[in-house]
Copies of this chain bind each other. A is one copy, B any other.
Amino acid sequence: MSDLSETIKGLKYDSSGLIPAIIVDHRTKQVLMMAWMNQASLLDTINRGKTHFWSRSRQKYWMKGEESGHTQDVKAVFTDCDMDALVIEVEQHGAACHEGYWSCFYRRLTPDGRLEITGKPLFDPKAVYKNKK
């Protein structure tokens, strides 16, 4: 087993074997999305240089952009003091959000409880995800 596999094994995963991965733009550092990785997807993310995840809702291994073409080139991977979370700096192709926004965090929760849209859609999701609603 490589040193990389050993280090990945040494991170802390939840009871489902998952660790949260915060994906950020490598230039601006803006958070683009948060998703979950297991050991295999983190290993592929580093070895193949494209982000791979485990989808909890679909119970499925996936590469970001496999359907949309909006892949993420990995620039650097960081872990935190507790070794139970990751920050991954990427070069984003297209947009990170499946709803067409650059970042999934395109809505601000205002102090009076409104959800205010602060991002602008870069594409029409209906045109990109042909097989999805």
- Are A108 and B78 in touch, CB under 8 angstroms? yes
Q: Which of under 10, 10 to 19, 20 to 34, or 35 or more describes the interface residues of A?
A: 35 or more
Whether B109 pairs with A80 at a CB distance below 8 angstroms is no
Which residues of B are found within 8 Å of A86, using beta-carbon distances? 109
Give Cα A105 to B87, complex, Å.
Answer: 7
Q: A107 near B85 (CB under 8 angstroms)? A: no
- Shortest Cβ gap from A13 to chain B (Å): 13
Interface centre among A22, A30, A114 (most CB of B within 10 A): A22
Chain B residues, Cβ within 8 Å of A98: 81
Nearest chain B residue, comparing its CB with the CB of A2:
B113
Residue of B nearest to A30 (CB): B29
Report if A104 contacts B (CB, 8 A): yes
Interface flags, A45-78, vs B, CB<8A=1, else 0: 0110000000000000000000000000000111
| 10 smallest beta-carbon distances between A and B, as pairs | A3-B113, A4-B113, A80-B104, A78-B105, A7-B113, A77-B109, A34-B85, A87-B105, A29-B29, A81-B104
A90: chain B residues at CB < 8 Å are none
- Answer whether residue A28 sits at the interface, using C-beta atoms and an 8 A cutoff: yes
Question: What are 8 A-B pairs at a CB distance below 8 A?
Answer: A2-B112, A3-B113, A8-B113, A47-B111, A76-B108, A78-B108, A81-B101, A82-B104
